Structure 1
Amino acid sequence: MHKRIQLILIALTFYSAIFAQKATISGRVIDTLGQGLIGAIVVEKGTSNGAVVGENGKFSINVNDAKTAYITASYSGYANSTVALGGKTTITITLRENAVGIGEIMVVGYGTATKKEFTGASASVRGESLEKLNIPRVDQALQGQIAGVSINTNSGSPGGASSIRIRGLSTFGDNDPLILVDGVVYDSEGLNALNPNDIASINVLKDATAGIYGVRAANGVILIETKKGRKNSAPSIELSGYVGMQQASKKLNLLNANEYAVLKNEMFANGNQALPFSNTNLGEGTNWQDSVFKTAMVRDYNINVSGGSDKTTYSIGGSYFNQDGIVGL
């Protein structure tokens, strides 16, 4: 009896070994745009079986058992993703960019740091947030987004420049902050010349944190990083745009002609003076606010082409923005 049980166990072991043979799994690792992530790492969970993703995001890896194996893909700047094979031998793994958090990389001075490690007074706005806001100007991206930064509109004309103040006024002279775009001083007046859709991130350095930039940084520093292409990636074309309408959000509650005449007569009557209007039936009259203000159109179209090889990267963007004024001619 004992020998018979041993034979049964040996048979079962042999049977399971047949169906647990190694299998070769092939597939691709891509981002949310469908671009292959060259250099990503693919590993069978719980083992040392792994592979490096090659051209067009393709990979091939040997696993112990295609039915029970799990494949984990990882890539710098992206969240890891684990998928169950379930007997499949061909898979596609999509990685998403890491969400903003304490591990976010910030540009500070002549280097970078993560939010978790950085202890200075600073704040940042990501390019993804700008795209969701649908703002026509970069300075509007800072309005209400970063504590201690105030944006004041200098005029009501479409596309008018704004003044940026970081923690109030610090001198009787120029109070504008130092602005750097990709490490180069931006001397143009305001930020109107920059397209919000070309920006990857905006970092604002305050007080002593900005001291590394010298005297010009006394009013704070705004560091702007533009979008860049990725190495070894195929050309990616992004199109976006919107058309909207704008109007005066708040108007004064004024009297019409009839109400004005009645009120004027009451005022003169209280002073025992002759009434200026013998007939107060003047109708509605002209609503001058409706005559002055109008509903205006706003249009914004953007295109961006990016990509790169193993030696160079590129990102080319263009935009068309047209904003009509709400004050009619």
Structure 2
Amino acid sequence: MINRLFSQTIIFFCFLIASNVHAQDRSIQGKVTTFESIPLFGVEVQVKSTKQLVKTDSLGRFVVNCNNKDRLSFFAHGFNKQNVTLKEKTKFVAVNLHLKPGEKGKAYAIGYGHVLEEDKLSAITSLRDDHDNFSKYVDMYDLIEGRFSGVQVDGTQIIIRGRNNMGSTSSNAALIVIDGIVRDERTLSSLPPSTVKSIDILKDGGSAIYGASGANGVVLIETKKGGEE
């Protein structure tokens, strides 16, 4: 009886060990970017359960081993930290990190080599609600007009690069992206300034990642999430 009990105990512990090893063998791949498509190099990715720490490569890619239900933390100088809770069926994780407000965040991002200046950051002009109370403006056009160098408002169009010489049928309007989704002028017109967290104006090489649609520059707008004031 004792021998049987001892054998069952050994089998039980072997099962636990095997289960734990199997859980840790789960491999997760991922990619870390900023502004939706610019890969970030050297971002620290940490697994909560094992404290395993890896860094993204030059293309923003990484691979880690973790449990079925685990959490990954992403950290890079100049960017806001982000946590991602994994689901059992998750095999690939795509993370988009946001720059911290101000020129210091850009300087860290460039200085630590997370992103090359010529790729993006030199072409960005930013405005944050925590530096200027957006709620005092009548609408988004009132907010944008006169706040960014080289940016003009023409009716419901935002002109970043100035008028082109391709004829009156060619649009000069900048591309409008709100919370990562391309929107039209009607959406921008109905957006209350008090709900906006930040505005980034992309021009020159910075807007190239949006292809032909971003040829006239891009207005990136991030709205406040629940609980943010």
TM-score by length of 2: 0.47
Relative contact order: is structure 1 or structure 2 higher (C-alpha 8 Å, sep ≥ 6)?
A: 2
The TM-score, its normalising length taken from structure 1, stands at: 0.34
Bigger radius of gyration, 1 or 2?
1
